[in-house]
């Protein structure tokens, strides 16, 4: 078993880390303070060609697969985790349009139409530098949960069939890149008869489409630069060619590609690395301020080693899991993905908190990044659909019910 990155993956990882350290990191504190979207970071991503990271090579992109995307995202997060988290949504949209659909067995005419529509979207990314948000979340209190057993609700939003397209109505919340992304890949349920999954749609809604409104205060504890406001859709016109995925494919992917749900763990793994790196720099007098502020290296050496053990163990499990991404993975791989996800959710909070303890009281000051890292880390456990609570429940239910005959 060899989990080392390929030479191509390493090249892309180095490019991403260079942007993170040389560009993103110096802006992150001000963006966090103002809860402002990282517009300049996205210009850097655009200039470096990374908005096309997951665009297929035949369309002029870098052709990264799911695993490669995760490795790159981990590096970007070391500069600004909010930037990496919003980038996750753009890249997943590209991957869902492409390799994550492989093997679904769609009819030839449906597949051909999808390829033509996707080619146009890829071209916009390449030539115009557009990027996508993903307004997947809806308030649970606004209605019943989806039949898709993935946690949360995303299909209270409906699409009514009209001549030439759809009228879309609904409310989304925690919509990252609100008011900034060029398009929002929006789940909606077609109002018609037929199986539920077959009526799932994934529609491209332009930011400035009539009937789209972003609203709500955005002043959270962490991940402040994601700018994740509410999104209202009132009789929003979506033409037929706004279908990011063919009808029914979104529902299939959410049931048959579970590794989609752990992609954002790469962001938090990168955050762990950033916290560890800063702790080493701070305690050895190599941080830009408060040099040698902590002192007494022997007193903290064991604790620092434990941080590294936690970081590398978490990374090893996550890398193993993303290497197993496939359509309809076996239950063992799904359980390992859940384990990797929860391990990241726990470890990022533990490690960033320990970093503050080791560096001492002055590390809590906002002139240092650790307090921001710790606040951002708290988001990991509550992000849908695989929150820490739901994922833990899924693990033990699967383990206890495995091999039992169905009830009744």
* Range(s) of the domain holding residue 193: 133-251
307-339 residue pLDDT tens: 999 999 999 999 999 999 999 999 999 999 999
- Residues 367 and 261 occupy one common structural domain: yes
Confidence (pLDDT) at 285: 84
User: pLDDT above 90 covers what percent of the chain?
Assistant: 85
Distance, in Å, from the CA atom of 148 to the CA atom of 252, rounded to the nearest integer, reads 9
96-118 residue pLDDT tens: 999 999 999 999 999 999 999 99
Q: Which of 97, 113, 131 is the last residue of a domain?
A: 131
Confidence (pLDDT) at 279: 95
Instruction: Over range 160-182, report the average pLDDT.
Output: 97
- The sign one gets for the Cα dihedral 202, 208, 210, 214 is positive
User: pLDDT above 70 covers what percent of the chain?
Assistant: 92
The beta strand positions in 42-197, using DSSP E, are: 132-133, 158-162, 165-175, 183-190
- Residues 245 and 303 occupy one common structural domain: no
Confidence of residue 294 (pLDDT cuts 50, 70, 90): low
- Residues 306 and 247 occupy one common structural domain: no
- Residues 267 and 362 occupy one common structural domain: yes
Q: Which of 192, 218, 251 is the last residue of a domain?
A: 251
Confidence (pLDDT) at 139: 76
Instruction: Over range 213-235, report the average pLDDT.
Output: 97
Q: Which of 83, 101, 131 is the last residue of a domain?
A: 131
Claim: this prediction has a pTM higher than 0.85:
yes
Number of domains in the chain: 3
CATH number at residue 222: 2.40.110.10
- Residues 267 and 390 occupy one common structural domain: yes
128-143 residue pLDDT tens: 999 999 999 887 655 5
b/e per residue, 14-52, with b = 16+ CB within 10 A? ebbbebbeebbeebbeebbeebbbbeebbebbbebbbbb
Of residues 183 and 149, more confidently modeled: 183
Confidence (pLDDT) at 408: 45
- Residues 86 and 18 occupy one common structural domain: yes
Q: What contacts 210, CB < 8 A, 6 or more positions away? A: 236, 237
- Whether 406 maps to a domain, the answer reads no
- Reference 84, options 96, 75, 93, 94; nearest CA is 75
Residue 141 vs residues 4, 153, 156, 173, 321: alpha-carbon distances, Å = 44, 10, 11, 12, 33
Residue 26 scores a pLDDT above 90: yes
79-91 residue pLDDT tens: 999 999 999 999 9
Residue 395 scores a pLDDT above 70: yes
- Whether 182 maps to a domain, the answer reads yes
- Residues 50 and 120 occupy one common structural domain: yes
Instruction: Over range 243-255, report the average pLDDT.
Output: 96
CATH number at residue 261: 1.20.140.10
- Residues 107 and 197 occupy one common structural domain: no
Of residues 381 and 289, more confidently modeled: 381
DSSP string over 248-304: THHHHHHHH-GGGGGTTHHHHHHHHHHHHHHHHHHHTT-SSSSTTSS--HHHHHHHH
- Residues 231 and 262 occupy one common structural domain: no
The answer to whether the beta carbons of residues 307 and 279 sit under 8 Å apart is yes
Per the prediction, the chain carries an average pLDDT of 93
Distance, in Å, from the CA atom of 361 to the CA atom of 407, rounded to the nearest integer, reads 56
- Whether 298 maps to a domain, the answer reads yes
- Residues 264 and 393 occupy one common structural domain: yes
């Amino acid at each position: 078993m060899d989990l080392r990155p390929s030479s191509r993956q390493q090249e892309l990882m180095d490019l991403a880390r260079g942007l993170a350290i040389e560009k993103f990191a110096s802006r992150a504190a001000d963006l966090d303070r103002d809860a402002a979207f990282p517009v300049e970071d996205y210009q850097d991503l655009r200039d470096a060609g990374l908005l096309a990271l997951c665009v297929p090579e035949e369309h002029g992109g870098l052709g990264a697969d799911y695993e490669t995307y995760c490795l790159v995202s981990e590096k970007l997060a070391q500069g600004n985790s909010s930037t990496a988290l919003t980038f996750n949504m753009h890249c997943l949209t590209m991957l869902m349009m492409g390799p994550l659909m492989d093997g679904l067995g769609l009819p030839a005419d449906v597949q051909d139409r999808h390829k033509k529509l996707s080619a146009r979207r890829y071209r916009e990314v390449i030539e115009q530098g557009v990027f996508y948000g993903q307004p997947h979340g809806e308030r649970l209190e606004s209605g019943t949960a989806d039949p898709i057993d993935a946690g949360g609700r995303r299909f209270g939003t409906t699409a009514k069939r009209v001549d030439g397209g759809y009228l879309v109505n609904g409310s989304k919340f925690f919509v990252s890149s609100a008011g900034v992304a060029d398009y929002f890949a929006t789940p909606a349920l077609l109002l018609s008869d037929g199986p539920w999954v077959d009526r799932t749609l994934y529609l491209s809604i332009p930011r400035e489409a009539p009937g789209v409104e972003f609203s709500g205060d955005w002043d959270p504890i962490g991940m402040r630069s994601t700018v994740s406001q509410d999104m209202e859709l009132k009789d929003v016109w979506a033409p037929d060619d706004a279908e990011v995925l063919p009808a029914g494919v979104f529902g299939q992917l959410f049931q048959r590609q579970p590794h989609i749900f752990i992609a954002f763990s790469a962001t938090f793994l990168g955050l762990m690395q950033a916290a560890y790196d800063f702790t080493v720099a701070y305690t050895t007098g190599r941080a830009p301020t408060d040099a040698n502020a902590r002192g007494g290296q022997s007193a903290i050496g064991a604790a620092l080693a434990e941080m590294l053990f936690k970081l590398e163990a978490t990374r090893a499990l996550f890398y193993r899991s993303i290497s197993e991404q496939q359509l309809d993975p076996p239950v063992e791989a799904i359980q390992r993905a859940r384990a990797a996800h929860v391990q990241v959710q726990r470890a990022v909070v533990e490690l960033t908190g320990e970093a503050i303890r080791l560096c001492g009281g002055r590390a809590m000051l906002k002139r240092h990044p650790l307090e921001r890292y710790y606040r951002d880390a708290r988001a990991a456990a509550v992000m849908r659909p695989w929150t820490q609570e739901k994922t833990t429940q899924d693990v033990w239910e699967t383990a206890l019910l495995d091999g039992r005959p169905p009830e009744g």
